[in-house]
């Protein structure tokens, strides 16, 4: 089982330190920065051996080169985006598995937020590192992809086991919930979570990771093919990718 530590950095990013106990391998997922991550690893007595990058944005790769210089770690990232990941040495693509000590990550190509975005799923630990593709009650902005691409990417992640923990890269949950209740005001799972999120954020407790079970029930961006959501926005019976596009459009102007 992976030992996963969450490090809040910048205004709302989460960087993850992930240790595989059998081998002692330690990965940093999407290091936005270097100094705080090196300090956190040092405090734990963990030696960083890998960086796993989901996509090229500066708040996900900003620490790559300095952490590599300090530790000699191996940088693993998307083959779908070969030129924009600083220091990338190992390229992984959709359908690949990446052996990380005694654990295995399945790689998913999930374009939409960027054209080269990937996600890492550690099945044995029920952990999904999905970068800026899925957030709790949200999804990434479509900077380089179409709604159809993002819906297809999210649909693949949604098909993972419900107990999967969603280690996304930002604490955006409170604002996502504010938007989501305008889409599905009558969604009980969402309303229950709204109260939970308010309580946690008031105490400065992370809402991440959530679970896929909760996201399926309450995240409007995973529910574009649900009759209840479609009816709630007056799009009953419409194709899911069109419904998804409309929900994303409303969020963009929210
Ligand atoms: Zn991003
Ligand atoms: Fe980001």
Q: What is the DSSP track for 76-100?
A: EEETTSTTSSTT--EEE-TT-EEEE
All structural domains of the chain = 3-252 (3.60.15.10)
| Predicted local distance difference test score (pLDDT) of residue 205 | 98
Report DSSP state, residue 124: G
Q: Looking at 30, 117, 170, 241, which residue is catalytic?
A: 170
Ligand 2: distance of its center to the CA of 235 in Å? 31
Distance between CA atoms of residues 191 and 113, nearest Å: 27
Which of the residues 30, 50, 55, 81 is marked catalytic?
55
Under the phi-then-psi rule, with left for phi > 0, alpha for psi from -120 to 50, and beta for the rest, what region is 94?
beta
Q: Among this protein's residues, is 60 annotated catalytic?
A: yes
Q: What is the mean pLDDT of the chain?
A: 98
Q: Which residue has the tokens 């998804």?
A: 244
Residue-level pLDDT at 190: 98
In 3D space, the residue among 171, 142, 146, 168 whose CA is nearest the CA of residue 251 turns out to be 142
Measured in Å, residue 123 CA sits from the centre of ligand 1 at 24
**Tens of pLDDT, residues 139-174:** 999 999 999 999 999 999 999 999 999 999 999 999
Active site residue 50: no
Distance CA 242, CA 247 (A): 9
Q: Which residues contact 120 (CB under 8 A, 6 or more apart)?
A: 29, 52, 54, 98, 105, 106, 107, 128, 129
Q: Among 121, 111, 113, which residue's Cα sits nearest to residue 149?
A: 111
pLDDT band per the 50, 70, 90 thresholds, residue 227: very high
Starting from the CA of residue 116, give the closest ligand. Answer: 1
* Percent of the chain whose pLDDT exceeds 90: 100
Q: Which of 50, 56, 59, 117 is catalytic?
A: 59
* Predicted local distance difference test score (pLDDT) of residue 174: 98
pTM of the entire predicted model? 0.98
pLDDT band for 3, please (50, 70, 90 cuts). Answer: very high
**pLDDT for residue 15:** 99
Is residue 170 part of the annotated active site? The answer reads yes
Q: Is 233 helix (H, G, I), strand (E, B) or coil?
A: coil
Tens-place pLDDT, residues 40-81:
999 999 999 999 999 999 999 999 999 999 999 999 999 999
**pLDDT, tens only, 111-124:** 999 999 999 999 99
Closest ligand to residue 142's CA:
1
pLDDT of residue 178: 98
CA distance 15 to 26: 13
Distance between CA atoms of residues 92 and 74, nearest Å: 13
């Amino acid at each position: 089982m992976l030992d996963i530590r969450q490090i809040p950095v910048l205004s709302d990013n989460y960087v993850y330190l992930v240790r595989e106990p059998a081998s002692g391998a330690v990965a940093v997922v999407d290091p936005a920065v270097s100094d705080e991550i090196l300090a956190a690893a040092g405090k734990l007595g963990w030696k960083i051996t890998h960086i796993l990058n989901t996509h090229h944005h500066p708040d996900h790769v900003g620490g790559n080169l300095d952490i590599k210089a300090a530790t000699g770690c191996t940088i693993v990232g998307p083959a779908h985006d070969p030129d924009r990941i600083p220091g990338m040495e190992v390229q992984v693509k959709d359908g690949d598995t990446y052996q990380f000590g005694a654990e295995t990550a399945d790689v998913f190509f999930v374009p939409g937020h960027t054209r080269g975005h990937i996600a890492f799923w550690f099945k044995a630990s029920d952990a999904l590192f999905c970068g800026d593709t899925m957030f709790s009650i949200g999804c990434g902005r479509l900077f380089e992809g179409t709604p159809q691409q993002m819906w297809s990417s999210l649909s693949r992640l949604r098909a993972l086991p419900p107990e999967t923990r969603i280690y996304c890269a930002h604490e955006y949950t409170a604002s996502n919930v504010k938007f989501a209740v305008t889409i599905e005001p009558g969604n009980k799972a969402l309303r229950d979570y709204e109260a939970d999120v308010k309580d946690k954020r008031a105490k400065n407790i992370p809402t991440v990771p959530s679970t896929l079970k909760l996201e399926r029930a309450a995240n409007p961006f995973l529910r574009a093919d649900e009759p209840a959501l479609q009816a709630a926005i007056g799009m009953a019976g419409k194709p899911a990718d069109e419904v998804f596009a409309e929900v994303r459009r409303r969020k963009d102007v929210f």
